[in-house]
Chains A and B, each alone.
Chain A
Amino acid sequence: NAGVTQTPKFQVLKTGQSMTLQCAQDMNHEYMSWYRQDPGMGLRLIHYSVGAGITDQGEVPNGYNVSRSTTEDFPLRLLSAAPSQTSVYFCASSYYRPSGRETQYFGPGTRLLVL
């Protein structure tokens, strides 16, 4: 199994540009989520999905869209990039919601710089 994969690894955008961060998992996990990690802060939840066709907002959803057309893929779209979205983005997956003993698996991250 490849686990959770993310592309690209690094991206530079100009303010106002849009882009899609890709996330895929091959573990047949129902639950997938996107986080951002900023220096000195804990990971913060952007959006999550409990299964194909179902998504919901997390703690910091503004400026981001998601969709879940398949179990495997969960892309994150930046609609109009802003410097405040400079961050490292992590995708994670688990069989079910990460409650109790459910282990969450993280991708390697995408480092985004918005100029």
Chain B
Amino acid sequence: KNQVEQSPQSLIILEGKNCTLQCNYTVSPFSNLRWYKQDTGRGPVSLTIMTFSENTKSNGRYTATLDADTKQSSLHITASQLSDSASYICVVGATSINNAGNMLTFGGGTRLMVKP
């Protein structure tokens, strides 16, 4: 069964500090890995998308890395801001057989709180 596990479940950091969120997956055959930001009471918003051939992707202060060999990804947030307080969701896509289905597996998310 395809699974995506994220750690930690929650994290509190001080404004201005850096942090790294982890994502481990067992999804096969691997197609792509996405990170989303979800503010409280809102829908997820895409931060990065990486395919098999990419091992890093940046979006402003967000940098995602991918190690397809160990099936791990991380999201690094630099110089955190209060507005970074949100849940961060790792999503792994599998190559669909016969082009069927959505083939996305969502992690449970890491809830980040940035304090002043």
Q: A and B bound?
A: yes
Which residues of A come within 8 Å of B, CB atoms? 4, 33, 35, 40-45, 48, 56, 58, 90, 92, 97-101, 103-109
B50 to chain A, nearest CB (A): 9
* Most B Cβ at <10 Å: residue of A41, A92, A104, A108: A104
Q: Hey, which chain A residues are within 8 Å of B96, CB to CB? A: 97, 99
Return chain A residues, CB-CB under 8 Å to B81: none
Q: Are B102's CB and A41's CB within 8 A?
A: no
Q: Are B46 and A100 neighbours in the complex by a CB distance under 8 Å?
A: no
| Number of B residues with CB within 8 Å of any CB on chain A | 27
Contact of A45 with B49 in the complex, beta carbons under 8 Å: no
Please, what's the 1-or-0 string for B43-58, where 1 marks a CB less than 8 Å from any CB in chain A?
Answer: 1111001010000000
Residue of A nearest to B43 (CB): A106
Separation of A92 and B46 alpha carbons in the complex (Å): 12
A99 touches B31 (CB 8 A): yes
In contact, A103 and B101 (Cβ under 8 angstroms)? no
Pick from B41, B46, B51, B101: contact of A104, CB below 8 A.
B46
Does B105 have its Cβ within 8 Å of any Cβ on chain A?
Answer: yes
- Decide if B102 touches A108 in the complex (CB within 8 Å): no
| Cα-based distance from A18 to B15 in the complex (angstroms) | 46
Contact B43 A45 (CB under 8 A): no
A56 adjacent to B103 (CB under 8 Å): no
Instruction: Give me 12 other A-B pairs in contact (C-beta within 8 A), A42-B106, A44-B106 excluded.
Output: A4-B43, A43-B89, A45-B101, A90-B43, A97-B102, A97-B103, A98-B93, A99-B32, A99-B96, A103-B49, A108-B41, A108-B43
